[in-house]
Amino acid sequence: MSNLSEKVALVTGGSRGIGAAIAKRLAADGASVAITYAKDATAASAVVKAIEADGGKAIAIQADAADTEAVKGAVEKAVAALGKLDVLVNNAGTAIPKPFEETSFEEMDRMIDINFRGILVTTQTALKHMSDGGRIINIGSCVGERLLTPGLVAYAATKGAVKMFTQGLSREVGGRGITVNNVQPGPIDTDLNPAAGDWATPQKAATALNRYGHVDEVAALVAFVAGPESAYITGANLTVDGGTNA
Ligand code: NDP
């Protein structure tokens, strides 16, 4: 188990799916946690209440990852409310699965703005406040390295950008003991990628384990990377994909 007591974490897109599991796991490991969300205040509030019910501390902040001022404001609010920032998890993301030639420019912009530009803005703002020895953990995707399933061309490109951003930034902030890593999930059962959906069959078949992953299986890796035992891991792309990219 990681020991995150006295640590403060910010998880973007923490109201549902993988982000909610990460927020709950970091809180269970002792961190105070701020989550952001775009639309669903009820879901965000439920995550906060679940953490508080387990004796943890959490706040929720509405901030669309595609809105520069909202993102900057969310980081400032988290630091003001919780006192500092030790761990940033850039999880907010979306996919609009369809063939590339049928993807509109607006849909491409949406994926770029949330999945990649949002990470740039959040991370640059967070670095102004981040403690030495801090952790930046990006949630990329196994498709950022290898694309086996159709309909994800633009999405995969945004995740490839997250991969290279991770590697490059690790070299700029290493002098402060800050690590930057890219956790790359494979198919994980969430609202975004339901294990029972139309897109699920080829994704499940592409795994070595012949199953979708659970959000807690991603959260466990994030908790390790956020914790003290991972201090020598940086600039790494850590895949949790059931063997999809094997
Ligand atoms: P979900 O759609 O299930 O949950 C997304 C979360 O992000 C929600 O809390 C949502 O809040 C929030 N969110 C969505 N859009 C925005 C936005 N514009 N600004 C801020 N918050 C936002 O997604 P997953 O949990 O499946 O995915 C989480 C991350 O994991 C994404 O980066 C995704 O690309 C990545 N990933 C997922 C995989 C999977 O198979 N599920 C595989 C590989 C990577 P709200 O409801 O308020 O909009």
155 is an active site residue: yes
Q: Is 91 in the pocket of ligand 1 (CB under 6 A)?
A: yes
The CATH number for 163's domain is 3.40.50.720
Residue that the structure tokens 């912009």 belong to = 109
The mean pLDDT value of the chain amounts to 97
Q: Reply yes or no on whether the pLDDT at 73 is more than 60.
A: yes
**Distance from the Cα of residue 57 to its chain's centroid:** 20
Query: Does a structural domain hold residue 53?
Result: no
Query: Does a structural domain hold residue 51?
Result: no
Local structure of 58: helix, strand or coil = strand
Residue that the structure tokens 């890219």 belong to = 182
Tally of domains within the chain: 1
Q: pTM to 2 decimals?
A: 0.98
10 Å Cβ neighbour count for 154? 20
Query: Does a structural domain hold residue 185?
Result: yes
Query: Does a structural domain hold residue 12?
Result: no
Tokens found for residue 12: 């973007």
Q: Pairing state of beta strands 130-139 and 85-90?
A: parallel
Comparing C-alpha atoms, which of 177, 223, 153, 216 is closest to residue 4? 223
Q: Is 64 in the pocket of ligand 1 (CB under 6 A)?
A: yes
Question: DSSP H helical segments within 99-214, as ranges?
Answer: 105-112, 118-127, 153-173, 200-206
Comparing C-alpha atoms, which of 52, 60, 57 is closest to residue 7? 57
The burial class, CB within 10 Å (0-12 / 13-18 / 19+), for 6 is exposed
Per residue in 43-54, pLDDT (tens digit) is: 999 999 999 999
CB 58 within 8 A of CB 81: no
Distance 65 CA to ligand 1 centre (A): 11
Local structure of 6: helix, strand or coil = coil
What atom of ligand 1 comes closest to residue 218's alpha carbon?
A: 30
Q: Reply yes or no on whether the pLDDT at 205 is more than 70.
A: yes
Query: Does a structural domain hold residue 216?
Result: yes
Query: Does a structural domain hold residue 126?
Result: yes
Out of 37, 155, 212, 232, the active site residue is: 155
Q: Is 13 in the pocket of ligand 1 (CB under 6 A)?
A: yes
In this predicted structure, what is the pLDDT of residue 103? 98
Q: Pairing state of beta strands 179-185 and 130-139?
A: parallel
CB 127 within 8 A of CB 80: no
In this predicted structure, what is the pLDDT of residue 2? 53
Residue closest by Cα to atom 10 of ligand 1: 13
Cα–Cα distance, 168 to 127 (Å, whole number):
15
Per residue in 118-177, pLDDT (tens digit) is: 999 999 999 999 999 999 999 999 999 999 988 999 999 999 999 999 999 999 999 999
What atom of ligand 1 comes closest to residue 187's alpha carbon?
A: 40
Q: Is 141 in the pocket of ligand 1 (CB under 6 A)?
A: yes
Query: Does a structural domain hold residue 140?
Result: yes
**Domain extent for 219:** 66-240
Query: Does a structural domain hold residue 174?
Result: yes
DSSP state of 103: -
Q: Reply yes or no on whether the pLDDT at 1 is more than 70.
A: no
What atom of ligand 1 comes closest to residue 94's alpha carbon?
A: 34
Our CA dihedral for 121, 132, 74, 77, rounded to 10 degrees, sits at: -150
Q: Is 38 in the pocket of ligand 1 (CB under 6 A)?
A: yes
